[in-house]
Amino acid sequence: MDEIAPGIFVETRYRGANIGAIATDRGFVCVDTPPYPADAREWRAQLLQRPPGRIRYVVNLDHHRDRVLGNMWLQAPVIAHDVTGEKLRGYGHVFPQLIVDALSARDPSAAAELAKVRIVAPQITIAERLTLFDGKRTVAIMHMPGPTPGALWVHCPEAQVLFTGDSVVLGTHPWLAEADTKAWLDNLAALRRNRLRVRVLVPGRGPVGDKGSAEAIANYLRLVRGRVRGLLQSGRPRTDTSTLVSELLRRYPISNESRERVQRRVRAGLDHVYDELKTTGDES
């Protein structure tokens, strides 16, 4: 656990996404949760040992499994976007078995506990913005669509700390299969234009940095949109997005055991961007 500003903590070593906790007078506002039960319990125990000694809220920055699976272990009301709430409530009480199986395959020792995990859907959902004021701390929760329709950012203006979720990821391929890449790039551009005071940027994955960290993902998105637009302008079919996969894979090192999975993810993202540009008429 690293304290990146007074009372603001980040953990990047757990399996899954980066997580955080913001101390307020009435409790921690947690940003996402570890997906594996043992990690989630450890995270909760660490927070309870620090002032203010309780967890007030959990904010899910999107609906992906490695952000929401640990909600039940933190034992606090969950805040998310309307779209995320709808998605999680649509699962019922149990996560789809494919999600549990995929995580269990990576850590068989956690399989028994993962099988018992139940969905904690958000008790509070927002459409655009929610600001929490507590003592000297302001926590602004903002709808910033891009990697998913319900993506959120969490900003602490006094400390100038921003949690971006998967709007910024470092050293890994972004998830594009649900993306609005135009909105995503617009939000990153607003960040660069100092629309928010940001001294420390916590990405969804990768090391903590500053707002300059966002440039790598912006370049990736511009490359993908440019390459896919080229296919559309040439009248080539959606299946030809496969020709772009190898170029993108070279951008980040991939282990042999994850290569097939990452290839599928990149291909699904390219197919989605093809449909996105074609549907919106953004082909020229």
pLDDT, tens only, 99-127? 777 777 777 877 787 777 888 999 999 99
pLDDT interval class at 11 (50, 70, 90)? very high
Domain 2-159 grouped into CATH 3.60.15.30: yes
pTM value is 0.93
Quick one: tokens of 180? 């609005």
Q: What is the pLDDT of residues 55-71, one digit of tens each?
A: 999 999 999 988 998 99
Confidence band for 184, pLDDT divided at 50, 70 and 90 = very high
Neighbours of 132 (CB within 10 A): 18
Q: For the ranges 99-103, 223-227, 253-257, which has the lowest average pLDDT? A: 99-103
Using the Cα atoms of residue 241, residue 243, residue 247 and residue 249 in order, give the sign of their dihedral.
positive
Domain boundaries, the chain: 2-159, 218-280
> How many whole angstroms separate alpha carbon 64 and alpha carbon 124?
18
Q: What's the pLDDT score for residue 91?
A: 82
- Of residues 233 and 111, which shows the higher confidence score? 233
pLDDT digit string, tens, across residues 125-138: 999 999 999 888 99
pLDDT at 175 over 70: yes
DSSP run (H or E) holding 58: strand 55-59
Q: What are phi and psi of 253, to 5 degrees?
A: -65, 140
What's the rounded Cα separation, in Å, for the pair 81 and 124?
A: 8
Q: What is the pLDDT of residue 284?
A: 52
What is the reported pLDDT for 259?
86
Nearest to 203 by CA among 214, 188, 189: 214
